[in-house]
Amino acid sequence: MNTIDEGYIKYFCQWQKKSAIALADIGELNLWRTELYKLGLIGEYDNGIGFGNLSIRIPHSNNLIISGTQTGGIAELSLKHYTKVTDYDWQQNYVVCEGLIKASSETLTHAAIYVAQTQINAVVHVHHDKLWRKLRDRVPTTDPSCAYGTPEMAEEIVKLCQQPETLKQKIIIMSGHEEGILTFGNTVEEAVNVLLEHYACL
């Protein structure tokens, strides 16, 4: 396994470099990702660290397809920018993936949502300071002591996703991860629309 450092955390990634993603797998996912990039909800900071990811559940499993490591600053993604995650363990802080790019450390947070609720098939993670500050503690919000990319954060996400209010609102503010916002749904469109409804009210 290789150790990856994305500016937030270090994690272990067992990566098999091969063409594992088909265009049909990411078509809708990529269309919505482009729209969120245009809005600045996915992007790259001045220090070169990218932010924002989208994922979908691989049917009939807890595995997923997710935009890869450090792709936030790329305007238009292609097949080479997505990876298939076939195994993970947030206690051990590792992911196993196959594709033409390594998985993002954000994978473990996405995975926690899929494990918590089988009806969730898409997860969106964006950054927006003003929206984050507006919604923090007004919608389901993680404990500020839980740092992003840690086992504690994954466990906190699982706990929140088991609460009826979280499932109703389909949004989580990551209090310990400044600007971090998660939305989710049965489809990518639903997850994105939850986010855009809040964004439109700024």
Domains in the chain with CATH codes: 2-199 (3.40.225.10)
Please report the DSSP string for 48-68 in residue order: S-EE-EEEEEPTTSS-EEEE-
pLDDT score of 1: 58
* pLDDT at residue 28 is higher than 90: yes
Region 105-122 average pLDDT = 94
Length of the chain: 202
Structural tokens at position 124: 């969106």
Structural tokens at position 95: 């992911």
pLDDT score of 158: 96
- The beta-strand segments (E) located in the chain are 2-5, 10-17, 43-44, 50-51, 53-57, 64-67, 82-89, 94-99, 122-127, 171-173, 180-185
Give the pTM. 0.95
2 band by pLDDT with thresholds 50, 70 and 90:
low
pLDDT score of 3: 55
The average confidence (pLDDT) of the chain is 93
Residue reference for tokens 């919608």: 139
Of 9-13, 110-114, 142-146, least confident by mean pLDDT is 9-13
pLDDT score of 111: 96
34 band by pLDDT with thresholds 50, 70 and 90:
very high
R_g of the chain computed on alpha carbons: 15
- Positive or negative torsion for Cα 68, 167, 174, 94: negative
Who wins on pLDDT, 5 or 161?
A: 161
Region 108-135 average pLDDT = 97
Instruction: Choose among 200, 190, 196: nearest CA to 123.
Output: 190
